[in-house]
């Protein structure tokens, strides 16, 4: 076995060599916590601790496999395979299978995944004849899940006055009965859901002292990764298991506690030192990931939280570039700015697509970035979700609009004829399909003439009502623009209301996504084309544009060279050379739902801290003056978190009136005050048209022929086919990626041009 302590810094070694007694390792971002955790396990085994007596709990199977592999590599033998290393759920499932008879379950009990659980709840809700608008399976599932993770059994749930009042206010007084029926049905089926693996483990240890004693003496050393993400149930189980030996080592960072919506509580790590006597605390503050500039910004941001364990990240890495702050006029401009910046960095600094990550607060924000990256042919991959236009709620909404424009679209027609549910069942749809096939008619032809095809009464009045509704939308096509028709579709079909009624986390995200779709349509109808002329604002024109954007191959190689798009929550634990943290606006980041208590606001700040510490070399923070919300163009105030970034570490070149380089940077303080002075949408369009027409149209010279980019130097006068004549003010980049700053005439101003793509003619050399 090689010297496994070699390469550890002083604090890491201190954490590894501490054997007995409670230990809290406060591991800052990028400080090598996984290395410390695995080396500590190897150190315990090297000093005679049996692998069967070590329990290590993580939150992902990938992390567990990596830990076991590293320990095995350090020890150079197969003994590591005897370790109890795994996720909370996998380890507890293993124990529950061994002890299942104590709880009345078979040893081979079924584990229901989320879809299984929601399907069972849907059946129970239907059997109880309850209104599924109030008792949506997704909401009910999340409600029961939260109860189990808070260790509330049925009796406790029904006796909790606050919970009962909340259910009553939400017109869901039968929630307790559904919980009861669901628990009984799972037990009858010999099944546990994902949350039961925690809840039943707690019940097992609480109700059977002999079982508790058995595992207390087996697991003499307990290690928990990402302790800041544990919930009440996990905390209670760990507390019981470690009560005899108290050889508990927790590793985590309170500054990265961002999962309260899943039941995690930062108090678990903040109060660890109060749970045990003589707790040893080791702080890992040396960061091996980021530049000094990025870390100074991160430290300053998190210092504004009052409820935290003090720490100060530092690094021996280089100072690095300043953080770029970019202010754009709209969210679409924000998308274009990010795509432009990625292209520029690839040319100037030879980055690959996979070196970039775009991090946002909500999945709905991905749209403008996806569209801009596609237009520039930059390969990207969406993580933690599906592409915006591939999400079910978006496809449902677009299906309605496509049917309004083209009723012969049978696939989309079948998709939405009974969504939201209107009583047109599978049997009725099968009869209609058979008749359409027999008569060689389209599906729409049949449902529009049910009597003529001998299908009177099939589907009741629901089919006739559906046809009349679609025809009503069609009467709007000639006189109304795309947004007006789309808004009417969402409202009158009940689709938007159906999504609004689902108050679960997933339901809220789906509702935000359809609002973002409406926002994009609104902007489409109010934005001129590239030449300043108002475009065709019809629904058909919009759908054609969307088709061009979405008809791409989404099944890309997961290891392909692609820009990563994801929420900040999904990015935790990852790192990238270049990171864009986008949408830094009040009511978006921090979220409007997280500004009422200090606890919620501090979690939002921790989320921003996590985002900044994902970056290794370069970091951009962007925000838009305005974005569409619920169909209205609203002005945005820059996020309060921007004010927490020290000016000394900010590059504000892009906070002027335009996101393009070369504009005179404005005072950031004055930019904040100007947000409320955003011109109206019509005025904005008029100004864009005026700006376009103010620039005289340039006709290339008769002898125009592009010259070699390598022949161009500062001071030369050149001709561009569109922007006319200009003077080269500055040259950057290497021979294969030269970028010129050129001062053109009135109406075009100063622009940065990539010479390999621009095709310039030298007019006057020097």
Identified catalytic residue from 11, 12, 33, 362:
33
Q: How far apart are CA 659 and CA 746, in angstroms?
A: 19
Residue with tokens 């500004």: 595
- According to DSSP, the residues that pair with 579 across neighbouring strands are 357, 619
According to DSSP, the β-strands at 724-732 and 191-193 are: unpaired
d(CA 638, CA 645): 13
**Active-site residue, 256 included:** yes
User: Cβ-count burial of 275 within 10 angstroms (0-12 exposed, 13-18 middle, 19+ buried)?
Assistant: middle
225 is a catalytic site residue: yes
Give catalytic status of residue 285 as yes or no.
Answer: no
Is residue 217 within 8 Å of residue 55, measured between CB atoms? no
- DSSP, collapsed to helix, strand or coil, labels residue 652 as strand
Catalytic annotation, pick one of 99, 193, 226, 498: 226
Query: Is position 491 annotated as part of the catalytic site?
Result: no
Catalytic: which of 99, 167, 196, 225?
225
Partner residues linked to 633 by β-bridges:
628
Is 652 known to be catalytic? Answer: no
Q: Which of 566, 605, 601, 602 is nearest to 582 (CA)?
A: 566
What are the residue ranges of helices labelled H in 112-160? 114-127, 137-149, 154-159
DSSP summary character for residue 579:
E
In total, the chain counts a number of residues equal to 766
* Cα separation, 228 vs 260, whole angstroms: 10
**Does 420 sit behind a cis peptide bond, omega within 30 degrees of 0 on the bond before it?**
yes
**Distance from C-alpha of 8 to C-alpha of 14, rounded to nearest angstrom:** 9
- How far is 410 from 433, CA to CA, in rounded Å? 10
Q: Give every CB contact of residue 113 below 8 A, 6+ residues apart in sequence.
A: 194
- CA dist 46 and 124 (Å) reads 54
Cis ω for the linkage preceding 704 (within 30 of 0): no
Q: In 3D, which of 615, 610, 589, 604 has the Cα closest to residue 357?
A: 615
**Residue 650 CB neighbours (<10 A):** 18
Distance of alpha carbon 753 from alpha carbon 586, whole angstroms = 34
Query: Residue 444 contacts by C-beta under 8 Å, 6 or more apart in sequence?
Result: 407, 408, 410, 413
DSSP notation for 170-224:
TT-TTHHHHHHHHHHHHHHTTEEETTHHHHHHHHHHHH-HHHHHHHHHH-SEEEE
Residues 364, 528: Cα–Cα separation, whole Å: 24
List of residues 6+ apart from 669 with CB closer than 8 A:
none
Catalytic residue among 12, 39, 58, 256: 256
Q: Are 167 and 139 in contact (CB under 8 A)?
A: no
Helical pair 461-474 and 482-493, crossing angle rounded to 10 deg: 160
Of 674, 680, 686, whose CA–CA distance to 636 is shortest? 674
Query: Does residue 451 have an active-site annotation?
Result: no
In sequence order, the β-bridge partners of residue 161 are: none
Residues marked active site are found at 33-34, 225-226, 256, 614
């Amino acid at each position: 076995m090689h010297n496994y302590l070699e390469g550890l810094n002083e604090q890491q070694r201190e954490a590894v060599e501490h054997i007995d007694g409670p230990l809290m390792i406060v591991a800052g971002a990028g400080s090598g916590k996984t290395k410390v955790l695995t080396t500590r396990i190897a150190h315990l085994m090297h000093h005679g601790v049996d692998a069967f007596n070590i329990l290590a709990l993580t939150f992902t199977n990938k992390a567990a496999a990596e830990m076991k592999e590293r320990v095995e590599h350090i020890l150079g033998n197969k003994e590591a395979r005897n370790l109890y290393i795994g996720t909370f759920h996998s380890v507890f499932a293993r124990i529950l299978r061994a002890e299942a008879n104590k709880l009345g379950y078979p040893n081979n009990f079924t584990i229901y995944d989320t879809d299984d659980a929601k399907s069972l709840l849907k059946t129970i809700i239907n059997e109880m004849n309850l209104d599924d608008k109030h008792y949506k399976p997704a909401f009910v599932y999340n409600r029961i899940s939260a109860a189990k993770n808070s260790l509330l059994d049925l009796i406790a749930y029904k006796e909790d006055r606050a919970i009962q009042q909340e259910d009553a206010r939400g017109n869901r007084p039968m929630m307790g009965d559904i919980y009861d029926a669901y628990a009984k049905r799972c037990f009858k089926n010999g099944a546990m859901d994902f949350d039961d693996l925690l809840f039943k483990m707690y019940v097992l240890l609480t109700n059977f002292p002999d079982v508790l004693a058995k595992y207390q003496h087996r697991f003499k050393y307990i290690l928990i990764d990402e302790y800041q993400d544990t919930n009440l149930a996990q905390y209670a189980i760990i507390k019981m298991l470690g009560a005899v030996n108290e050889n508990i080592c927790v590793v985590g960072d309170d500054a990265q506690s961002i999962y309260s919506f899943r039941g995690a509580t930062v108090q678990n790590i903040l109060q660890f030192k109060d749970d045990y006597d003589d707790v040893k605390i080791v702080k890992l503050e040396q960061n091996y990931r980021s530049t000094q500039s990025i870390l100074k910004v991160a430290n300053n941001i998190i210092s504004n939280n009052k409820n935290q364990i003090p720490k100060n990240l530092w690094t021996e890495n280089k100072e690095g570039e300043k953080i770029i702050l970019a202010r754009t006029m709209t969210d679409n401009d924000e998308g274009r700015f990010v795509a432009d910046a990625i292209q520029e960095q690839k040319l100037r600094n030879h980055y690959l697509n996979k070196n970039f990550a775009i991090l946002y607060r909500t999945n709905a924000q991905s749209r403008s970035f996806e569209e801009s990256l596609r237009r520039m042919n930059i390969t990207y991959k969406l993580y933690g979700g599906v592409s915006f236009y591939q999400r079910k709620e978006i496809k449902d909404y677009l299906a309605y609009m496509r049917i309004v424009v083209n009723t012969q679209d049978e696939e989309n027609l079948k998709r939405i004829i009974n969504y939201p549910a209107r009583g047109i069942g599978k049997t009725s749809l099968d009869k209609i399909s058979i008749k359409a096939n027999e008569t060689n008619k389209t599906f729409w032809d049949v449902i529009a003439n049910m009597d003529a095809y001998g299908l009177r009464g099939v589907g009741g009045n629901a089919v006739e009502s559906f046809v009349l509704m679609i025809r009503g939308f069609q009467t709007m096509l000639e006189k109304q623009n795309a947004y007006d028709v789309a808004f009417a579709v969402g409202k009158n079909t009940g689709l938007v209301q159906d999504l609004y009624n689902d108050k679960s986390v997933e339901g809220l995200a789906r509702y935000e996504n359809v609002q973002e779709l409406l926002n994009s349509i609104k902007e489409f109808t109010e934005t001129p084309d590239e030449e300043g002329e108002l475009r065709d604002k019809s629904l058909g024109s919009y759908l054609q544009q969307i088709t061009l954007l979405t008809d791409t191959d989404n099944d890309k190689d997961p290891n392909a060279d692609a820009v990563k798009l994801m929420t900040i929550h999904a990015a935790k634990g990852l790192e990238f050379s270049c990171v864009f943290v986008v949408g830094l606006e009040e009511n978006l980041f921090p979220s409007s739902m997280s500004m009422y208590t200090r606890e919620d606001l501090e979690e939002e700040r921790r989320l921003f801290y996590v985002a900044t510490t994902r970056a290794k070399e370069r970091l951009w923070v962007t925000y838009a003056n305005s974005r569409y919300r619920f169909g209205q163009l609203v002005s945005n105030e820059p996020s309060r978190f921007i004010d927490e970034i020290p000016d000394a570490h900010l590059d504000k070149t892009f906070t002027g009136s335009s996101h393009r380089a070369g504009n005179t940077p404005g005072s950031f303080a004055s930019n904040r005050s100007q947000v409320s002075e955003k011109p109206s949408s019509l005025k904005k369009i008029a100004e864009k048209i005026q700006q376009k027409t103010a620039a005289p149209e340039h006709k290339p010279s008769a002898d125009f022929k592009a010259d070699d980019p390598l022949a161009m130097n500062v001071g030369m006068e050149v001709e561009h086919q569109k922007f006319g004549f200009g003077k080269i003010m500055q040259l950057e980049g290497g021979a294969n990626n030269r970028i010129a700053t050129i001062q053109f005439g009135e109406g075009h101003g100063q622009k940065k041009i990539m010479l390999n793509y621009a095709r310039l003619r030298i007019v006057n050399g020097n």
